[in-house]
Amino acid sequence: MVHRRQDEAAELSSLIGDIYDAALNPDLWVPVLEKVCAYVPGSMGNLFSQDIANVANRFFCWGHDPYFYDLYLQKYAALNPIFPRSMTYPVCTPFTSGDIIPFEEMHKTQYHKEWLEPQGYIDFVGCNLEKTATGIVALAVVRHRRDGLVDAASRQRAGLVAPHLRRAMLIGKVIDFNQAQAKTFSEAIDGLAAGVFLVGARGNLVHANKAGRLMLDQSHPLKEIQGVLFASDETVQRDLRAAFAAAAAGDVAMKTSGIAVPIKGRDDVHFIAHVLPLTAGARREAGRDYAGAAALFVRKATIDLATAIDAAAQLYGLTPAEVRVLKAVIDVGGVAAVASMLGASRSTVKTHLEHLFEKTGTSRQAELVKLIAGFASPARGQTRD
């Protein structure tokens, strides 16, 4: 039993390392999905997006039948009863077909009879990796008859992998460069519009690209003090330090640390930060060259807050009072400040916050803000078969 647990831990560690390497090299995504399917397990793995207009896009896929997958994009995406109900699940929370629609009901649908059944597919486990105002980016590991229905172990494994997939896809969207055109990691990141900071376990700055150096020169949204990277907000600083320390401990330790950390700069300019560990895989060379434990990617947030809040209100069934509190939390943060801004008592604000947490599956104001920040455009990607 101990030996098996050690083997599974080693398999997860290797898989997570490959996931983070794929953030820098999109050619690795299909082999990564093959390993995800071996780990969860399943017979087909897919990273895709779908919106409420039932427009679906395959980013990367392994184990699929191209003929049937093209049929899905052209016809069956609109007939899939799983969507848009799957949009209600929080990011990185695993769900299965049976969680959304009873199997008896599913078997009666045209989608099952004409698309699932001919391929032998009987179940899947999925995780939303990004949620937008109108759609999702998600992982789906599909089960064939020979795999059986999704069990508790498979659900747990999908949940362990999902945060790392989310981080890697978001960083891949920020990077958007062809590594083959750059001789070194430094050359590659210097051409990015996003600020990139290579840091040690305690936030000591060892390298910044051109965009990052400009941010530091302006002390916006980050600053360097005696060789250490700092954020002006204490909560953000704590989150980043925790992520840097986790990166130094290895890929598996990252879990949900440092994914889409919101940073507020001057003049209400918002930024989003992502932390990539540099202590394993193909990334280790960059970390070794600079004695860095992690790469911090910082870009301006391109969020239409009004649209994002409206979409969240519709998706989660928020009341007008809850929407007002949500807007105030994003604008000023803190129960006292929100109460003052709205002219309400603290107890009233706390009650509305509790309802917001319950409806959105969050537990802290920072998580609530991150959730709304996630209602940006879906991750871009190329179709890779």
In angstroms, the CA 30 to CA 73 distance is 19
The secondary element (H helix, E strand) that includes residue 275 is strand 270-277
**Alpha carbons 47 and 316: distance in angstroms, whole number:** 24
Global confidence as pTM:
0.74
> Mean pLDDT by 10-residue block, N- to C-terminus, for the chain (385 residues)?
64 93 90 97 96 84 95 94 89 95 96 97 96 84 97 97 93 64 65 89 93 94 95 90 92 85 81 88 71 88 68 84 87 79 88 93 84 57 44
The full DSSP string for 104-122 is HHHHTSHHIIIIIHHHTEE
CA dihedral 183, 62, 135, 296 (to 10 degrees): -30
| Domains of the chain with CATH codes | 2-175 (3.30.450.40), 182-300 (3.30.450), 305-373 (1.10.10.10)
Contact 170, 176 (CB under 8 A): no
Residue 311 is classified by DSSP as H
Question: Which token pair is 73?
Answer: 């994009």
Per DSSP, the three-state class of 231 is strand
Query: Which one, of 69, 75, 74, 98, lies nearest residue 86 by Cα?
Result: 98
Residue type, 300: K
Residues 6+ apart with CB under 8 A from 333: 365, 369
Angle between helices 346-360 and 320-331 (to 10 degrees): 100
| DSSP 8-state secondary structure symbol assigned to residue 74 | I
d(CA 323, CA 307): 12
Whole-angstrom Cα Rg for the chain:
21
Q: At what angle do helices 346-360 and 305-316 cross, to 10 degrees?
A: 70
Helical spans, DSSP H, in 25-151: 29-39, 66-71, 97-100, 103-107, 110-111, 117-119
The neighbour count for residue 57, using CB atoms within 10 Å, is: 17
- Please report, for residues 200, 274, 350, 382, the alpha-carbon distance to residue 260 in angstroms, rounded to integers and kept in the order given: 19, 5, 25, 22
Model pLDDT, residue 377: 44
Q: How far is CA 112 from CA 13, 76, 80, 242, in A?
A: 35, 10, 8, 45
Alpha-carbon span 189 to 235, nearest angstrom: 27
Angle at 247 between CA 236 and CA 334, to 5 degrees: 15
DSSP 355-378: HHHHHHT--SHHHHHHHHHT-SPP
Q: What does the alpha-carbon distance between residue 305 and residue 91 come to, in Å, rounded to a whole number?
A: 18
Distance CA(56)–CA(58), nearest Å, equals 7
